[in-house]
């Protein structure tokens, strides 16, 4: 069976209600497909109009009345505000794999009258409420997905065409956040680490769901494979900390081994010298382990020409914005050591060790800005994934 490329659009209302994490978790577990790209969009009127031309079709198993409701919904809820020009945030996910279009559509579900609740994403997060006379009282489809391979191709090429102008990091040029003028408004960085992608699971979505407790807005999302060069720059400030921090502990261990194996008395001054000698060695080894964990490549074995190549491990990079964003995200994340993290925090729930601890978050506004530059939050592979898959 040939691989297919499929998509899910998480609608503006769903994004604003912070339901993205639960939906991502459901998609990853129900489809077991490879999530190959993710991007935030703030659609222009032109994008909405062009996309909407392909919503109502005879090849969609969805009832035509529902299709027309979706078309009208998109025009009303995806378009910029006609007075202020403010655009709406939505999230788009790309999945790749065998029979991807059907699997995604089944997980999303069709919209039906009097349907059971909770089996599909739309049954859980959407609403289709009718009045007694059969007229529509309220309609919220929650997400959109293509009904067939042909339409997936057509629609994805439209979104790819507009992805650079209408998508990416949604800064003040595209959207208006209520807190944007507040002096305490911040943009911070989050990385959902590679340990969450070892096998298909809902972990990435569940982590995003916990971050949603902060009430902050997601303004960018991307799938990223960190290069060795990026990882060394990103974690560069940690190297010296590790050298100093590990020196005393490894000196104590070395002293105990020497005393036991060679019947030597290792005094305080000798242990201090051992710390100076072994600390940098242990710190550099731990630093290399971090780089390998994030990239899948051992930096000491990586040829110079491969240092800037995409890494072998996948992560999700997000930016969150709002008042006091750095502190709020760090509180929900928990301390570096999962064993010391409070119940309900991300690292307590999903972390294993100090290194394999589920997610990273910037510890200051200054570091957030530095880290965003390293992982290039303004760049996204969405367009290149679509174009390379279809070959045109």
* Domain extent listing, the chain: 3-169+380-390, 231-306
Is the pLDDT confidence value at 244 over 80?
no
The neighbour count for residue 11, using CB atoms within 10 Å, is: 25
Residue 311, CA atoms < 13 Å, CB-side half-sphere? 25
Q: How far is it, in rounded angstroms, from Cα 44 to Cα 58?
A: 27
Is the pLDDT confidence value at 170 over 70?
yes
Mean pLDDT of 89-100: 97
Q: How far is it, in rounded angstroms, from Cα 84 to Cα 292?
A: 48
Is the pLDDT confidence value at 44 over 80?
yes
Please check whether residue 120 is in contact with residue 27, taking contact to mean a CB–CB distance below 8 angstroms. no
The structure tokens listed for 366 are: 């200054």
pLDDT for position 334: 96
- For 65-84, give one letter per residue: b (16+ CB within 10 A) or e: ebbebbbebbeebbbbeeee
Q: What is the DSSP letter of 87?
A: P
pLDDT for position 49: 97
pLDDT for position 279: 63
Q: How far is it, in rounded angstroms, from Cα 171 to Cα 173?
A: 5
The structure tokens listed for 329 are: 């995200």
pTM assigned to the model: 0.92
> What is the band of 251 on the pLDDT scale with cuts at 50, 70, 90?
low
Q: What's the Cα-to-Cα distance from 331 to each of 117, 157, 180, 344, rounded to whole Å?
A: 34, 40, 21, 11
pLDDT for position 59: 86
Is the pLDDT confidence value at 116 over 90?
no
The pLDDT tens digits for 187-230 are 999 999 999 999 889 999 999 999 999 999 999 999 999 999 99
pLDDT for position 246: 63
Q: Which of 54, 185, 224, 360 is catalytic?
A: 360
Q: How far is it, in rounded angstroms, from Cα 144 to Cα 155?
A: 11
Is the pLDDT confidence value at 362 over 80?
yes
Look at the block and give the residue holding tokens 């209408």. Answer: 166
The structure tokens listed for 5 are: 């490329």
Q: What is the DSSP letter of 306?
A: G
Helix (H, G, I), strand (E, B) or coil at 118: coil
Mean pLDDT of 99-107: 97
Is the pLDDT confidence value at 4 over 70?
yes
Residue 360 appears among annotated catalytic residues: yes
The neighbour count for residue 200, using CB atoms within 10 Å, is: 14
H helices present in the chain, as ranges: 12-16, 20-31, 45-52, 64-78, 100-108, 121-125, 149-166, 203-211, 228-234, 236-262, 268-295, 325-333, 346-350, 365-375, 382-390
- β partners of residue 323: 185
Is the pLDDT confidence value at 181 over 60?
yes
Q: Which helix (H) or strand (E) holds 140?
A: strand 136-140
pLDDT for position 363: 96
Whole-number average pLDDT of the chain? 91
The pLDDT tens digits for 8-24 are 999 999 999 999 999 99
pLDDT for position 43: 97
Q: How far is it, in rounded angstroms, from Cα 307 to Cα 232?
A: 10
Mean pLDDT of 34-62: 95
Q: How far is it, in rounded angstroms, from Cα 353 to Cα 375?
A: 24
pLDDT for position 190: 98
pLDDT for position 247: 58
The structure tokens listed for 31 are: 């489809």
Look at the block and give the residue holding tokens 């650079």. Answer: 164
pLDDT for position 277: 66
Sign of CA dihedral 132, 134, 138, 141: positive
Residues whose CB is less than 8 angstroms from the CB of residue 124 and which lie 6 or more positions away in sequence, other chains included: 22, 26, 117, 118, 142
Rounding to the nearest 10 degrees, give the CA dihedral for residues 332, 171, 167, 8: 30
Q: Which helix (H) or strand (E) holds 185?
A: strand 185-192
The structure tokens listed for 191 are: 């990385």
pLDDT for position 239: 87
The pLDDT tens digits for 255-299 are 566 667 766 676 776 666 666 666 677 778 889 999 999 999 999
Closest to 220 in 3D by CA, of 360, 321, 324: 321
Is the pLDDT confidence value at 380 over 90?
yes
Q: Topology of domain 3-169+380-390, per CATH?
A: Alpha-Beta Plaits (3.30.70)
pLDDT for position 266: 67
In terms of Cβ atoms closer than 10 Å to its own Cβ (0-12, 13-18, 19+), residue 335 is middle
């Amino acid at each position: 069976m040939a691989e297919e490329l499929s998509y899910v659009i998480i609608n503006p209302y769903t994004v604003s209600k912070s339901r993205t994490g639960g939906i991502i978790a459901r998609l990853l577990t129900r489809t077991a497909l490879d999530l190959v790209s993710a991007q935030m969009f703030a659609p222009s009127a032109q994008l909405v109009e062009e996309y909407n031309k392909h919503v109502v079709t005879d090849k969609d198993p969805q009832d035509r009345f529902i299709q027309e409701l979706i078309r009208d919904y998109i025009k009303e809820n995806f378009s910029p505000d006609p007075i202020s020009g403010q655009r709406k945030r939505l999230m788009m996910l790309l999945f790749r794999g065998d029979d991807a279009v059907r699997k995604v559509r089944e997980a999303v579900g069709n919209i039906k009258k009097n349907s059971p609740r909770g089996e599909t994403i739309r049954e859980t997060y959407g609403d289709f409420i009718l009045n007694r006379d059969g007229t529509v009282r309220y309609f919220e489809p929650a997400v959109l997905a293509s009904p067939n391979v042909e339409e997936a191709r057509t629609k994805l090429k439209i979104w790819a065409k507009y992805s650079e102008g209408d998508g990416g990091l949604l800064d003040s040029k595209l959207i208006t956040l209520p807190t944007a003028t507040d002096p305490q408004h911040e943009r911070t960085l989050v990385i959902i680490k590679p340990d969450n992608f070892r096998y298909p699971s809902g972990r990435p979505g569940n982590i995003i769901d916990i971050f949603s407790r902060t009430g902050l807005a997601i303004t960018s999302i991307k799938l990223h494979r960190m290069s060795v060069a990026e990882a060394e720059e990103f974690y560069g400030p940690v190297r010296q900390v590790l050298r100093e921090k590990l020196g005393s502990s490894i000196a104590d261990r070395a002293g105990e081994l020497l005393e036991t194996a060679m019947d030597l008395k290792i005094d305080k001054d000798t242990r201090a010298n051992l710390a100076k000698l072994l600390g940098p060695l242990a710190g550099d080894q731990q630093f290399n382990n971090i780089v390998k964990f994030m990239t899948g490549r051992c930096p000491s074995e990586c040829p110079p020409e491969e240092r800037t190549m995409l890494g072998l491990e996948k992560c999700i990079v997000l930016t969150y914005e709002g008042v006091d964003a750095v502190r709020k995200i760090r509180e929900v994340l928990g301390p570096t050591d999962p064993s010391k993290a409070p119940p309900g925090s991300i690292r307590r729930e999903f972390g294993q060790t100090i290194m394999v601890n589920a997610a990273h978050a910037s510890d200051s506004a200054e570091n957030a800005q530095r880290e965003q530059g390293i992982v290039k939050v303004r760049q996204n592979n969405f367009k290149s994934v679509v174009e390379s898959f279809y070959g045109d």
